[in-house]
């Protein structure tokens, strides 16, 4: 499948690398490819600059948000939640129309320090905002409940855990579920329409505190039933 991964950060790198390893034709989308390709400094989180990662992933190409989305069959929104709507506008509504849009973003509000709160929650969600603004895209919210490493390698945990899909389009959820299973996820729960993204986005409030007390982000939710 031709896949665009919008976002060059830790989540974008993890997903682009893993999807490329699975044999997909992956392009990473960025605001300014020349600037991204020229980076030499680690990001604010201490992650290596994009070119260091790209050197290890020669099959993954780099393009603008719009170019990558235009040529893709499936688009992954791996940008930060605060800029996601802007990134998707740059990708272009026409380039997203009819396509599966896997949205892994979280609506983090860091304006009041740590822990972040959510800038939309409870009676709305970022997943819904994306779907409303791009009605012709087939938005599937998923993978927003665990860290980037576990998104693409859930087997790192000693036992199976759960991920979720939320969206209005059954075929799109089916496509995403197949991708998730290819990444190693063994328990994918379809929560329902895109309004159920409220639930998974709001799990962040517990997740961030768990990270604090467990001293690691290497954990995941499992629905025991």
DSSP string, 34-52: HHHHT--S--TT-PPPHHH
| 189: contact with a second copy by CB under 8 A | yes
> Pick from 17, 18, 122, 135: which binds a second copy (CB under 8 A)?
122
Contact 1, 25 (CB under 8 A): yes
| 164: contact with a second copy by CB under 8 A | yes
> Pick from 37, 93, 182, 203: which binds a second copy (CB under 8 A)?
203
Cβ-based nearer residue to a second copy, 99 or 198? 198
| 168: contact with a second copy by CB under 8 A | no
> Pick from 37, 93, 157, 188: which binds a second copy (CB under 8 A)?
157
Cβ 46 to a second copy shortest distance, Å? 23
Output the CA torsion 170→173→175→176 (10° steps): 180
Residue tagged 């740590």 (tokens): 114
> Pick from 8, 90, 105, 196: which binds a second copy (CB under 8 A)?
196
Nearest CA-CA partner of 72 in 36, 24, 120, 17: 24
Cβ-based nearer residue to a second copy, 75 or 172? 172
Sign of the four-CA dihedral 128, 169, 163, 68: negative
> Pick from 68, 161, 175, 177: which binds a second copy (CB under 8 A)?
161
- Determine the interface stretch with a second copy among 5-13, 32-40, 54-62, 121-129 (rule: CB under 8 A): 121-129
Cβ-based nearer residue to a second copy, 132 or 218? 218
* CA distance linking residue 127 with residue 123, whole number of Å: 12
* CA distance linking residue 176 with residue 101, whole number of Å: 9
Task: Label residues 145-178 b or e (16+ Cβ within 10 Å = b).
Answer: bbbbebbbebeeeeeebbbbbbbbbeebbebbbe
Judged by CB under 8 A, the number of residues near a second copy is 40
Cβ-based nearer residue to a second copy, 37 or 208? 208
Output the CA torsion 112→118→119→120 (10° steps): -160
| 188: contact with a second copy by CB under 8 A | no
Sheet with 61-64: strands ordered across: 61-64, 25-30, 2-6, 74-77, 100-103, 138-142, 163-167, 188-192
Cβ 161 to a second copy shortest distance, Å? 4
| 82: contact with a second copy by CB under 8 A | no
Binding interface with a second copy (CB under 8 A): 112, 117-118, 121-123, 157-161, 164, 189-192, 196, 198-200, 202-203, 205-210, 212-214, 216, 218-225
């Amino acid at each position: 499948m031709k896949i665009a991964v919008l976002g060059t950060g830790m989540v974008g790198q993890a997903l682009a690398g893993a999807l490329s390893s699975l044999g997909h034709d992956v392009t990473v989308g960025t605001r300014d490819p020349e600037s991204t390709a020229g980076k030499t400094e680690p990001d604010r989180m201490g992650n290596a600059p994009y070119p260091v990662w790209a050197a290890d992933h020669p099959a993954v190409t780099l393009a603008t948000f719009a170019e990558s989305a235009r040529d893709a069959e499936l688009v992954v929104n791996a940008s930060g939640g605060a800029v996601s709507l802007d990134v998707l506008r740059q990708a272009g509504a026409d380039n997203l129309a009819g396509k599966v849009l896997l949205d892994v973003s979280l609506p983090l509000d860091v304006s009041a320090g740590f822990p972040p709160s959510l800038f939309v929650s409870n009676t709305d969600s970022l997943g819904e905002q994306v779907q409303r603004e791009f009605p012709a895209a087939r938005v599937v919210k998923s993978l927003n409940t665990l860290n980037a490493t576990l998104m693409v390698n859930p087997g790192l945990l000693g036992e199976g855990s759960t991920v979720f899909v939320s969206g209005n389009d059954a075929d799109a959820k089916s496509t995403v579920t197949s991708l998730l299973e290819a990444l190693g996820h063994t328990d994918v729960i379809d929560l329902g329409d895109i309004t159920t993204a409220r639930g998974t986005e709001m799990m962040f409030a517990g997740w961030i505190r768990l990270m604090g007390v467990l001293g690691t982000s290497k954990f995941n939710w499992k629905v025991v039933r």
